[in-house]
Structure 1
Amino acid sequence: MNLIIPMAGKGKRLRPHTLTIPKPLIPIAGKPIVQRLVEDISEVTPEKIEKIGFVIGDFDEEIKGKLSEIAKEVGAEAHFFVQETAEGTAHAIACANDILEGKVTVAFSDTLFRADFILNPEDDGIIWTKQIEDPSAFGVVKTNEEGIITDFIEKPKDFVSDQAIIGIYYFKKGEDLRSEIDYLIKNNIRGGGEFQLTMALENLKNKGTNFTIGTVDEWLDCGNKEITVQSNSQYLGFLKGQSLISEEAVIENCEIIEPVFIGSGTEVSNSTIGPNVSIGNDCKICNSKLSESLIQNNTSLEDVDLTNSMIGNFVNLKGQPKSVSLGDYSQW
């Protein structure tokens, strides 16, 4: 099976954190979002992932190297495709046409999930959904009594279904999806000014592809600072009971309230950490109290009392603020 991950977006809602690194490489519970996504998908599919197509923007070689390592860890080969202009979900997938063949899963990179099912590779197609109260900002599906999808509706103004499409899709025949997307692009068929994946799915359905839904238990978004911090907290909760503190971290005279992730080389002293805190590698935390926060690498915090905060790499912060969002190399 091949896996395609569109991740070329600029992550504007998560600035300043995405000014220096792409949003999919922001860590959640100690691992980049895209790594969490790849690992979680590999757990729910019984088939080996052969190729991972990363649809990227203008990423440097260091970032490509990190993505290659993520693919390698699940036994897959990384392929890179550049999306030069953002023209919709179908356009992003089309950039990876070279590996859009055979059994294919498409997963958009800011989607994390928890699911209690195993993907059936013999299904024609599976659209992963989550039941939500207000689905008006999402694409939704309607199903018949047999659980087969009968309609795809993009951002409905009036209620038609509460099954929101979360951004993960499986196709038994990737070539069929490629053909439908190519048709949309060649004929400039757009919805809302963009090439929409739901339009290709509708065409496939009308030609006999039976799509079923795979319902997830949890759907975590990473769109802006507030919900990224919340997603970090939730994901730490999923991992509670596992060993999340590096053996190479130094912790002295501290109260640790789990769940907490602390990375390699980090030194924490005279502090209360947790609950729901992720601290990256090579940080120094002293005389501080942290809860519900996400701290990246090589950052120094002293005399702070923080909650609901997101702090980047190489930050120096001492005293004062209670809730902050600081990008890389900030000083306070």
Structure 2
Amino acid sequence: MSIRQAVLIVGGSGTRLWPLTHTMPKPLLPVAGVPFVQHQIDALRTAGIDRIALAVGAGDVDRWTPFARKVDAELFVEEQPLDTAGGIRANVDALDDRFLALNGDVMFQTPIASFLDGLPEVDGVLALVEVEDPSAYGVVVTDEFGAVSRFVEKPPPGTAPANTVSAGMYALTKAAIAAHPLGRLSFERTIFPDLADRGRLAGRVVHGRWLDIGLPELYIETNGVMLGRHVADATADVRGELAGEWSYCGPRSTVETAARVDESIVLDDATIGEHVHLRRSVIGWGASIGSHVHLRDVVVGEGAKIADGAIVPPGSRIGPDETWSDLAGEDRT
């Protein structure tokens, strides 16, 4: 049975990417100048999946509706938080008999069609990736036939029974979802263990790079992978240097003379002052960075302002419309 429908799970709060997610949902954050979820949809349609649904929270409907219309996607609205699978269960009547579910913050450079080709006839197939250190993940253990035998959540270093972890993409049957009552429902804690206990869950390793935007450093890294070069929008005014292996300057952004944008992201309408050095940082929409400021691993929210010569500790997050002005890096309003 071929799969023609995908449900993108995009309703999370994205707190780990604050302050960027104060402005927009995590999957809509730009990656290489395009919403991350657009890259996912393009990959799905390349694989022959032409029906797309976006599982969103009720509070985010207004923020998602314009994008859904643009890409001809259906909205599965979750009226209240129902965990990872509850929103899909609430819309079970709109599901195909077999469909693909994909977390809204992950993507593969390997074609999705390679995962879908020749799927076993079971109720669930998990895309798995191999990692060097699985201690930070939930480990998925499979037998010699690919059937999932058990799950081990964040095993201590050196004790993991396997190095395969869930990659956030699942081929599922409608029946696997409909078997559970309406309400809060978790893939990880309920659906997958139930299928595994009944011998109806398999795992398939996906090779190639696994991209994740769940943390600031991963969001920056994913931009670098997708860009691979220096990109400045045609409306950007770049008088400084774009350094490192890649960088991005969005529409109407300004990079003043003697500034250096080094493997960093400057979003729409942001201004980078003279003699500023950005290193692996993100400057939010309309933010302003004064002259003689060095930022390393910093995320600056929409409309924030950093004064001339201000000292910002590496790894800082500066909130939307916040002002950072003290030369000791302590005066914030």
TM-score (norm 1): 0.79
- Residue 42 (structure 1) aligned to one of 40, 45, 52: 45
Distance 1:138 1:96 in 2: 29
Q: Is the 8 A contact 1:55 1:95 kept in 2?
A: no
The CA distance in 1 between the partners of 2:163 and 2:119, in whole Å, is 26
Q: Which amino acid aligns with 1:225?
A: P
Q: Aligned AA for 2:78?
A: V
Check the 8 A contact 2:107/2:211 in 1, yes or no. yes
Deviation (angstroms), 1:267: 2.0
Specify which of 1, 16, 23 is matched with residue 20 of structure 1.
Answer: 23
Distance 1:139 1:95 in 2: 26
Q: 1: distance between equivalents of 2:207 and 2:189?
A: 19
2-structure distance, mates of 1:140, 1:49? 31
Aligned to 1:91: 86
Equivalence for 1:112: 107
Instruction: Judge which range, 211-220 or 105-114, deviates more.
Output: 211-220
**Aligned partner letter, 1:321:** H
d(CA) in 2 for partners of 1:67 and 1:176?
26
Give the number of equivalent residue pairs.
293
**Aligned-residue CA RMSD (Å):** 2.5
Moved more, 143-152 or 126-135: 143-152
Structure 2 residue identity aligned to 1:27: P
Contact 2:53 2:75 in 1 (8 A): yes
Structure 1 Cα separation of the partners of residues 107 and 191 of structure 2: 24
Of residues 234, 237, 255 in structure 2, which corresponds to 1:285?
A: 255
Q: How does 1:4-83 map to 2 (within 5 A)?
A: 4-43=7-46, 45=47, 47-59=48-60, 61-69=62-70, 71-72=71-72, 77-83=73-79
Match of 2:271 in 1: 300
Unaligned segments of structure 2, at least 5 residues = 307-333
Aligned pairs for 1:1-332 (under 5 A) are 1-43=4-46, 45=47, 47-59=48-60, 61-69=62-70, 71-72=71-72, 77-85=73-81, 87-115=82-110, 117-120=114-117, 123-124=120-121, 125-156=124-155, 158-171=159-172, 173=173, 175-180=174-179, 182-183=180-181, 195-197=186-188, 199-209=190-200, 211-237=202-228, 259-287=229-257, 288-303=259-274, 304-319=276-291, 320-323=293-296, 324-332=298-306
Gaps of 5+ in 1: 189-193, 238-258
Letter in 2 for 1:322: L
What's 2:318 paired with?
none
Opposite residue 78 of structure 1, the aligned amino acid is E
Q: Retained in 1: the 8 A contact 2:5–2:52?
A: yes
Task: Describe the shift of the 1:138–1:83 C-alpha distance in structure 2 as closer, same or farther (beyond 3 A).
Answer: farther
Report the counterpart of residue 313 of structure 2 in structure 1. none
Equivalent residue letter for 1:298: D
Alpha-carbon deviation of 1:315? 1.1
Say if 1:224 and 1:118 are closer, same or farther in 2 by CA, change over 3 A: closer
Distance 1:266 1:329 in 2: 17
**Residue identity in the other structure for 1:307:** R
Question: CA distance change for structure 1 residues 278 and 286 in 2, over 3 Å: closer, same or farther?
Answer: same
Q: State the secondary structure of the residue aligned to 2:227.
A: helix
* Percent of aligned positions that are identical: 23
The 3-state SS of whatever aligns with 2:263 is strand
Q: Take 1:264 and 1:176, find their aligned partners in 2: how far apart are those partners?
A: 49
Q: Which has the higher contact order (CA 8 A, sep 6+)?
A: 1
Does the CA-based 8 Å contact 1:2-1:99 persist in structure 2?
no
Q: 1:98 to 1:262 in 2, by over 3 A?
A: farther
How much has 1:165 moved relative to structure 2? 0.2
Deviations 1:107-146 (A, max 9, x none): 1111122215252265334311111122233232222223
Once residues 194 and 177 of structure 2 are traced to their aligned partners in structure 1, the CA distance between those partners, rounded to angstroms, is 12
One-letter amino acid of the counterpart of residue 236, structure 1 = L
Mean CA deviation greater in 271-280 or 22-31 = 271-280
Q: Is the 8 A contact 2:61 2:77 kept in 1?
A: no
Q: Aligned in 2, Cα 1:108/1:210: closer, same or farther, shift over 3 Å?
A: closer
What's the CA shift string for 1:54-103, capped at 9, x where partnerless? 3235125353202332x33xxxx322412522x53233432442333322
Deviates more, 1:101-110 or 1:195-204: 195-204
